[in-house]
Structure 1
Amino acid sequence: MAPAVRPWRPGDESACRALLSEAAMATVHTAFLSSLTRELTFQLVVLTAALLFIFVGVPLARCALAAPLVGAALYAGVWLSHAQQAARASQGLHTAPRRGGCWVAELPGPLLGRPRVVGVIAVTQSLRAEDRAWVPRLAVARAYRRRGVASALLDRALAFCRDQGYVAADLVISEYHDAARRLFHEKGFSLRQVYHRPVLGSLVTVCLYQLCFEIRAGRLSADP
């Protein structure tokens, strides 16, 4: 069953906030495991073990505890960073975006019950150029992914961009969202730039891809 896409309305805040929080926190484990393979993490474990042995007087055999201590601290830092990201993503749900809009996707609940909000997308005017749109958020409930929800939301947002006269729509996605990145490429988005954003200084960073969708002559186009 195809999802029904409609404009956001008051009363959707709770469902949208839950979707955005779930999307932001979904990559905590992946980011943590990625950070464990960095050379800087190993150096931090060695440094912690040396400090425990020299300054605290911990027996050398027990200095191996440095590894789980560093791992626990690292996981806590990654979790808190993602939690802050989730909080930022939920900001502005009560305000109308500049020259933009917000839409939700609905599907029937269990046993064809009351429609349930299973996805959300927003579009606003870019801060860098008035003729470019920015997609600050797109999230789909985990249980409803790969059912055409993100595709339907994206189609609605891009049609809005065309109607508003934008020449392009930009968004950023992380290295941990392979399925979403494939969808964007299928829709005609092209890579504009790649950069790294610190999560916990240089210890934990995330690779981000800025993607662009060009709009030409009142129609949607993937041509650069």
Structure 2
Amino acid sequence: MPDPASTPQLPSYLCCIRPFEPRDALAVKAMASEAATSTVWSFFTAALFRETFWELLIAVEAVLFVVFGVPGDLCVLLVPAFFVFIFTSIWAAHQVRAVAAQSDLSNIPDTYQTSKRTNFWVAELYEPLLGPASAFQLTFVTPQDVEKYQTDLGGLRRVVVGTVGIRKNRDEPEGGWLTRMAVLKPYRGHGIGTQLLEVACRFCGDVGLTHVRLQTTECHDAAKSLFYKHGFQILNYMHKPMFAGVKVGVYMFTRNVKPSRQALNA
């Protein structure tokens, strides 16, 4: 009879990075929606510092005063309403983007898992039924490692807390696109993003890709810091229209990938 003291005990918080399975579909779509709308406030704040935002505000005030004869003091009182309108418009644009951006998630197996050079992963967390504590420490394991624990998992719930995908780069066959990099807010700061990023980059090396690229906006400060930390460099920077002439900066990052022995021997 095995000694209980020598039996490995399952940590309270266990995180497993594994390939997507059909049972993850609803959780992945919910995460994508949250990620697409998480920058509403950041975009609005960025808009406040754009010259075009204030030009638009002045133009609206001028039209109200000159064309419609609205008294000046009332025009001033309408400024908060203008701010609310801009914020609501940005929020609505994010909602539309959230729906449009899920086209690749409607059938992840066909989009990401039919080619040897593409894949999609989730970070699945095993945690207490009451949810995340204010402070907790994760133990990262592979699907095979989970089987080594003898403690029953029935007392823990499984939650998909992160995603990442690698898609084909149509312009450069030897490169991959990193997409859908996201971690739920309550679980950030525990290394999940780092693990997802390394799994994706290691996959690129295993399948013989020479580099991986991605895009993110200037409003994703945490993401930019993560990419810098893990060897990504800025390849390009551009401005894309956001709303009413207001533009947002978009970064393209790139990282060279060292082919693994598996790829070299293939």
- 1:222 paired residue number: none
Computing the radius of gyration from Cα coordinates, the structure with the larger value is: 2
- 2:239 paired residue number: 196
Aligned-residue CA RMSD in angstroms? Answer: 1.8
Matched, 1:96 2:111: yes
Shift in Å at residue 217 of structure 1?
4.2
What residue identity is the alignment partner of 1:180?
Answer: A
- 1:208 paired residue number: 250
TM-score of the pair, normalised by structure 1: 0.89
TM-score of the pair, normalised by structure 2: 0.76
1:56 aligned to 37, 43, 68, which one? 68
Distance verdict in 2 for CA 1:50–1:202, change over 3 Å: closer
Matched, 1:87 2:99: yes
Distance verdict in 2 for CA 1:35–1:216, change over 3 Å: same
SS at match of 1:47: helix
1:110 aligned to 128, 133, 139, which one? 128
User: 1:97-148, CA deviations, whole angstroms, 9 ceiling, x for partnerless residues?
Assistant: 2531101001113345221110011101102111110012111100100111
Q: Is the 8 A contact 1:3 1:148 kept in 2?
A: no
CA–CA separation in structure 1 for the residues paired with 2:43 and 2:74: 28
* Structure 1 residues 113-192: aligned runs within 5 Å: 113-192=156-235
CA–CA separation in structure 2 for the residues paired with 1:53 and 1:212: 50
- 2:45 paired residue number: 33
Q: Is the 8 A contact 1:189 1:211 kept in 2?
A: yes
1:23 aligned to 35, 40, 60, which one? 35
Q: Which runs of 5+ in 1 are unaligned?
A: 220-224
Shift in Å at residue 41 of structure 1?
2.0
CA–CA separation in structure 1 for the residues paired with 2:227 and 2:251: 11
Question: What percent of counterpart residues are identical?
Answer: 33
CA–CA separation in structure 2 for the residues paired with 1:163 and 1:20: 27
Q: Which runs of 5+ in 2 are unaligned?
A: 1-12, 130-154, 262-266
SS at match of 1:182: helix
CA–CA separation in structure 1 for the residues paired with 2:49 and 2:78: 16
